[in-house]
Structure 1
Amino acid sequence: MDEQMHESKDNKFIPMTSILSGTGQKVSNDVYYYTDQIVNMCFIGLPNEGEWVLVDAGLPNAASEIRSVAVDRFGRESRPSAIILTHGHFDHVGGLIELVEEWEVPVYAHELELPYLTGEESYPEPDATVEGGLLAKISPWYPNQPINLGDAVKALPDDNSVPGLEDWKWIHTPGHSPGHVSFFRENDKTLLSGDAVITVRQDKFYNVLMQTEEVNGPPRYLTTDWNAAFESVKKLKQLQPNVLVSGHGHFMGGDDLSEGLQNLVENFDKLAIPDYGRYVDGQDNIH
């Protein structure tokens, strides 16, 4: 792998947690997610049978936990065929450098995310002025500078296929970041939404700590294009997923999910878009 790989210059441990931290949840025979502090990572593949894929890589210092889950689920010598990213924010790539160096596997992301994964460009700074709770107010402390994966990272295929996951497709769902993607499997309507749709109010400390369930839009303090975010939510709702695993919060399904997505689309301006903030002021009216 590329010797120039390195963590972001502002990489640091983030002292946040939730009641689900350190726990995992089986969603189906081959879909399992694990919560690292406040963020979810998905392990897709049948336990101890053939290839598997890791989706996202948690907060800084998450590599050891990811390795431990992989050993428990797939065996001591197992490694994924690929690591797939919903996007490159700090809480989704925290364990990535260490894992790629050890496992020597390719990483895939949307082509618009590549500058943030090859050391070329920093994300916009988190917005502490945005309407929201405590986690929004302290968001400038979160890392926003890029990691550098060098030639280990590649663009997802143009045909919307997902390397290592034959039955899945990727869907461009920008707004939270330019190249944000979600992953969908049609045969059982399983949706991995990343941060395009989440199931906890991510800017409120108590909700995050207790993992209070509610279908919501992307985290406010890091979302820079609310018009695109709304279009992405509508796109995901039209898929009519049976099961949703998001980047933050507990997985959901059934009526709670369908009603929650419908409510989010109908009331996106009230539920998701902040009344004020650096990245909402001056944008076109959503409705």
Structure 2
Amino acid sequence: MIEIAKNVYQLPLLPRNSINCYVVDDLLIDAGIRASASKILKSIKSHKINAHLLTHAHADHQGSSSLICERLSIPLWTSEKEKNNAESGRVVDDYPNPRHFVARFQQLNWAGKGVKVSQTLKEGDEVGSFTVIETPGHSIGHISFFRESDRVLIAGDALVNMNLLTTLVGLNTPPALFTTDTYQMKESVCKLNKLNPSVICFGHGPVLHNDKGQLEKLVERMGC
């Protein structure tokens, strides 16, 4: 695990930070793909985890959730609108084209089994030292997590910091191929910018220290 801030750790699950999950306080946020379970469990073995949270229930975030929750005997928490996908394991149903070959590949090879959701989260809920921020668009019920004291943002896939095809680093919005509502996604990015985050942690790409106004520049290009 890589320490990002106080009680915030990044777990890079694939090379070049192409898929990440995070430990914040006593919580595990996201769980990579199905093959990520052993790496996650090894990384957190000396860290007490009391709950598992999803930013959203896509295959590269919930892939190891069932095994992690079962092995650690911990509950799963999601937003209300992500609950159905998380419990059913049908994680590409809200893609623009669930029959696309990439979507079918992810469902078949990356997605994990469904897990009962023990608690649903909404805007303003406190989870550890973070606050839930509703950031729909990439998925129907996507949520992010923000800590006001040091302005650390766990963005999930509301933003990405790499090109998912080339793995070149760069701040952007996620591809339309995997995004339910691009207009709503834009609104969520503008909402996150108003928080003025100093550190941004992504599902895809390296952690970004926003000291050069990178997010503000992206928002300007988007026309917020």
Q: 1:183 and 2:145 equivalent?
A: yes
Q: Could you tell me which of 23, 28, 31 is aligned with 1:43?
A: 23
Question: For the residues of structure 2 that align with 1:120 and 1:218, how far apart are their CA atoms?
Answer: 22
Equivalent residue number for residue 160 of structure 1 = 125
Equivalent residue number for residue 244 of structure 1 = 200
Question: For the residues of structure 1 that align with 2:103 and 2:72, how far apart are their CA atoms?
Answer: 32
TM-score (norm 2): 0.87
Superposition deviation, residue 254 in structure 1: 3.6
Q: 1:32 and 2:1 equivalent?
A: no
Superposition deviation, residue 138 in structure 1: 4.1
Question: For the residues of structure 2 that align with 1:181 and 1:105, how far apart are their CA atoms?
Answer: 20
Equivalent residue number for residue 94 of structure 2 = 124
> What is the 5 A alignment of 1:9-88?
24-37=1-14, 38-45=18-25, 52-71=26-45, 73-74=46-47, 78=48, 80-88=49-57
Question: For the residues of structure 2 that align with 1:121 and 1:58, how far apart are their CA atoms?
Answer: 16
Q: Secondary structure at the match of 1:267?
A: helix
Quick check: 2:94–2:140 contact (8 Å CA) kept in 1?
A: no
RMSD, matched Cα? 2.5
Q: Secondary structure at the match of 2:216?
A: helix
Q: 1:231 and 2:187 equivalent?
A: yes
Equivalent residue number for residue 279 of structure 1 = none
Quick check: 1:126–1:140 contact (8 Å CA) kept in 2?
A: no
- Return closer, same or farther for 1:157/1:181 CA change in 2, 3 Å cut-off: closer
Question: For the residues of structure 2 that align with 1:61 and 1:154, how far apart are their CA atoms?
Answer: 25
Count, aligned residues: 218
Quick check: 2:122–2:132 contact (8 Å CA) kept in 1?
A: no
Deviates more, 1:217-226 or 1:113-122: 113-122
Percent same amino acid among aligned pairs? 30
- Return closer, same or farther for 1:91/1:121 CA change in 2, 3 Å cut-off: closer
- Return closer, same or farther for 1:146/1:32 CA change in 2, 3 Å cut-off: closer
Q: Compare CA radii of gyration and give the structure with the larger one.
A: 1
TM-score (norm 1): 0.69
Superposition deviation, residue 29 in structure 1: 3.1
Q: 1:201 and 2:175 equivalent?
A: no
Q: Could you tell me which of 206, 209, 220 is aligned with 1:253?
A: 209
Stretches of structure 1 that go unaligned for 5 or more consecutive residues are 1-23, 46-51, 130-135, 270-286
- Return closer, same or farther for 1:109/1:149 CA change in 2, 3 Å cut-off: same
Aligned amino acid, residue 178 of structure 2 = L
Question: For the residues of structure 1 that align with 2:40 and 2:12, how far apart are their CA atoms?
Answer: 10
Equivalent residue number for residue 263 of structure 1 = 217
